[in-house]
Amino acid sequence: MEFGEAKEKFISTWGSLGTLWGINKAMAQIQALLFVSTKPLSMEDIMTELKISRGNTSMNLRNLVDWGIVTKVLISGERREFFTTEKDVQELAKIIAKERSRREIKPVIKVLEEVSSIEDDGSKQTQELIKQTKALMELANDMDTLMNKLIDQKQNWLTKSVLKLLK
């Protein structure tokens, strides 16, 4: 497989995987392109390489910047904006996990907290709702805490061992 084919295959595959970590295909493809690029790219570079519209590129770059995955880079003498992404895979995973927690897990925990704190009217249905939503809330809190602890750890022998066990 030659470089161009391998690059295209990587970007396409990463785009498909993007939906698993909460972003759309075009966002993931832009991030993948920046990830394998040796220099920051302009919006025009991205549009040309991925064959996507200016609006699609602009919207998805803005979302990636909001996620903290992509950053703008100032290049002296250039009027255009350039973009790059985190190149350290460990750091990239941390950013994604923290953002998913903020956007997805924390709101669910908040809803479960509200629902589980309803007034107990003594009925079996109410007691079951309270019991189950509290259990889910505890599980979600525990998983969020565990995920954050793993993310904040350096890649030492213990972290590597735990990650191997999880696979």
CATH of the domain at 51: 1.10.10.10
* Averaged pLDDT score across all residues of the chain: 88
> Tens digits of per-residue pLDDT, 4-41?
899 999 999 988 888 777 778 999 999 999 999 999 99
Instruction: Judge whether residue 56 has pLDDT over 70.
Output: yes
User: What is the reported pLDDT for 38?
Assistant: 94
Answer yes or no: do 55 and 124 share one domain: no
User: What is the reported pLDDT for 160?
Assistant: 64
pLDDT band at 166 (very low <50, low <70, confident <90, very high): low
Please report whether residue 50 resides in a domain: yes
Please report whether residue 114 resides in a domain: yes
pLDDT band at 156 (very low <50, low <70, confident <90, very high): low
Q: What is the mean pLDDT of residues 43-58?
A: 96
Tell me how far apart the alpha carbons of residues 87 and 70 are, in angstroms, rounded to a whole number.
Answer: 10
Answer yes or no: do 129 and 147 share one domain: yes
User: What is the reported pLDDT for 104?
Assistant: 85
Answer yes or no: do 94 and 64 share one domain: no
Q: Decide: helix, strand or coil at residue 24.
A: coil
Per the structure, how many domains does the chain have? Answer: 2
Higher pLDDT, 159 or 61: 61
Please report whether residue 116 resides in a domain: yes
Q: Decide: helix, strand or coil at residue 62.
A: helix
N-to-C CA span, the chain: 29
Answer yes or no: do 20 and 75 share one domain: yes
Please report whether residue 71 resides in a domain: yes
Tell me how far apart the alpha carbons of residues 115 and 134 are, in angstroms, rounded to a whole number.
Answer: 9
Domain boundary (51, 85, 119) is at 85
* Nearest one of 116, 109, 95 to 145, comparing CA atoms: 109
Answer yes or no: do 78 and 111 share one domain: no
pLDDT band at 165 (very low <50, low <70, confident <90, very high): low
Q: Which domain holds residue 72?
A: 3-85
Cβ atoms of residues 73 and 80 within 8 Å: no
Instruction: Judge whether residue 167 has pLDDT over 80.
Output: no
Please report whether residue 101 resides in a domain: yes
User: What is the reported pLDDT for 131?
Assistant: 93
> Tens digits of per-residue pLDDT, 94-118?
888 888 888 888 999 999 999 999 8
Answer yes or no: do 51 and 102 share one domain: no
Answer yes or no: do 148 and 93 share one domain: yes
Instruction: Judge whether residue 142 has pLDDT over 70.
Output: yes
Query: 137 CB contacts (<8 Å, ≥6 apart)?
Result: 109, 112, 113, 116
Answer yes or no: do 12 and 81 share one domain: yes
Answer yes or no: do 36 and 75 share one domain: yes
Please report whether residue 166 resides in a domain: no
